[in-house]
Structure 1
């Protein structure tokens, strides 16, 4: 787990109490055949109990070709953001609690050219010193395009500037170790798209001649030769403040394993989540806590609400009547449900 977590940047999270009210689970399922074959073998009695006792909300359907992953769309809905175009969820601004300034993540990475096209690979063990040096080298070029760079982690930098306000960009989860064809913004879309693609091209040339490139190559590590842009957009001060108190948390372990295609580790992560549901979430729901659980795959996501939300204070009689009827059918089998995400 440590090695994978080091290679894959953690999910953004909202500062919340130690006992969050809404748990979002990215990569609860994946379309990879190896994952689909494992679904019937998972022992998920706590999830089965939750599906039986809690009320289901309508499934949100999408495509694996959407720019934002389902867990990002679910986070946006949970945080109360207005409807935004695909690829324009301000995740970088949310993560940094930056108000009134468009932000994005710049992820240093490795683009590998093959006969089938260019594939994005994460850069493991990128030293902080090398990351800082690469960021400093890129800074003048970014500033010439109206962008300010800030160091967050060695493999995730934050850019701030007006070109990032409405530029649709694909999530890093969508392109991780996948061909990039079809995922890059079209240069003809907007001036901002042309600006960012030019900066990406300049970064490629700059990084190729940087001493960090040779150091990593000589050490047998993938050199940094590109940046990926994602998480674009802006939040106002009220949205930032509301997000900080939303009680939303994300469960990272399944995502880390799935992006690494480590399916035994993914099964182990499900076992850990099962234990959390059994010892924490179900008892809290039985004690009357108002909780939500959202399961996300590569296409779809769905939320379940604890019984307390069916009679939450302030609900009108019509809403109290409707809420228990959200799920009329019997609770689905967990494996069947996960396969549908």
Structure 2
């Protein structure tokens, strides 16, 4: 029978908000899935981890980081997210060799005492603007022997075979944080920072940014480097429903933005999906939108999943929930759903 895994990044709200958010939710299917379980596991992630729990889970699912952290005797905090090559393949340029990084054009803003990374999803960079910035920056990368490849407006790729030891952080880890704590580390960190400074100066008075600022939009004043990975094909890939372009690119094209029924029909004997609808509102702290997405997930995914468990179309289901510093997985089955003495509750959504 079919086993299904659903990853839900940021389904765990911050502990200080959880009670109020739970009171605003009526999700009976999710409550049953979380309360009547066959097994469960929860882990707290170190605050200095350079990949979020869902990114680490995805790397493992793609076969890019070997055994799962528990099997390795390592915590999720020690894992990386070598996702660049898999994302590049999703844009139609599967790398057979070399070491690649994801490159995002970004806006760096000044907080009261430090620099922060604004959420790249809020940049609203169109194709024409992105192409102009890309073409202006490409010679600087190539002069260093670091070819730059265009994916889409917000997702580029850089090959840097000699930078394999560079430790980088994902943009979702860094957004809103003090940038000085998250800059690349390692032997080539100075070279990476020098390249970043050159591009910052290049784009400072670029016509694209002058036009953007005239329209009240933030300038594209830097780039962010992360996800370093050597070429090679993932062993498997989950469906991705919503999420930033690099994340959706990892999903097989027929399963991008799949429905529950499509996933069951086309996802094989162990279909997997990343439901990314909660990432952006959680990072932005837009909890009304987060609640709306949770209600939609109940109707579109949790209720159909519970029904499929009860009628035997699915034998087991695992929900992988996470927040910035917490990861939790809950596995249930048709038999576990018969544990009527366990009252359905959303208490396990608390971090």
* Runs of at least 5 residues in structure 1 that lack an aligned partner in the other structure: 1-18, 311-323
Assess, with a 3 A threshold, how the Cα gap between structure 1 residues 31 and 278 changes in structure 2: closer, same or farther. Answer: closer
Q: How do 1:217-232 and structure 2 match up within 5 A?
A: 217-232=213-228
Preserved CA contact (<8 Å) 1:52 1:331: yes
Query: Which of 284, 287, 292 pairs up with 1:260?
Result: 284
Preserved CA contact (<8 Å) 1:56 1:302: no
Structure (1 or 2) with the greater strand fraction? 2
Larger displacement relative to structure 2 (57-66 or 148-157): 57-66
Preserved CA contact (<8 Å) 1:48 1:333: yes
Q: How do 1:149-168 and structure 2 match up within 5 A?
A: 149-168=148-167
Partner of 1:15: none
Match of 2:66, SS state, is: coil
C-alpha distance after superposition, 1:172-212 (max 9, x if no partner): 111223331311124xx212x22211111111111103111
Match of 2:173, SS state, is: helix
Query: Which of 105, 115, 118 pairs up with 1:118?
Result: 115
Partner of 1:198: 194
Larger displacement relative to structure 2 (56-65 or 261-270): 56-65
Give the deviation of 1:267 after TM superposition: 0.4
* Runs of at least 5 residues in structure 2 that lack an aligned partner in the other structure: 70-76, 238-251, 253-267
Give the deviation of 1:302 after TM superposition: 1.7
Match of 1:158, SS state, is: strand
Give the deviation of 1:301 after TM superposition: 1.2
Tell me, in whole angstroms, the C-alpha distance in 1 between the residues paired with 2:225 and 2:97: 19
Match of 1:206, SS state, is: helix
Tell me, in whole angstroms, the C-alpha distance in 2 between the residues paired with 1:174 and 1:331: 35
C-alpha distance after superposition, 1:237-284 (max 9, x if no partner): 4xx243468743211111121123211000001101111344321122
Q: How do 1:123-272 and structure 2 match up within 5 A?
A: 123-186=122-185, 189-191=186-188, 193-237=189-233, 240-243=234-237, 247-272=271-296
Assess, with a 3 A threshold, how the Cα gap between structure 1 residues 297 and 167 changes in structure 2: closer, same or farther. Answer: same
Is 1:70 paired with 2:67?
no
Query: Which of 71, 79, 82 pairs up with 1:90?
Result: 82
Assess, with a 3 A threshold, how the Cα gap between structure 1 residues 21 and 229 changes in structure 2: closer, same or farther. Answer: same
Preserved CA contact (<8 Å) 1:22 1:248: yes
Q: What is the number of equivalent residue pairs in this alignment?
A: 299
Partner of 2:25: 42
- Normalising by structure 2, report the TM-score: 0.76
Tell me, in whole angstroms, the C-alpha distance in 2 between the residues paired with 1:87 and 1:135: 31
Larger displacement relative to structure 2 (260-269 or 242-251): 242-251
Tell me, in whole angstroms, the C-alpha distance in 2 between the residues paired with 1:222 and 1:36: 35
Give the deviation of 1:159 after TM superposition: 1.8
Assess, with a 3 A threshold, how the Cα gap between structure 1 residues 262 and 284 changes in structure 2: closer, same or farther. Answer: same
C-alpha distance after superposition, 1:146-195 (max 9, x if no partner): 32222222122122231443322111111223331311124xx212x222
Partner of 1:54: 37
Partner of 1:7: none
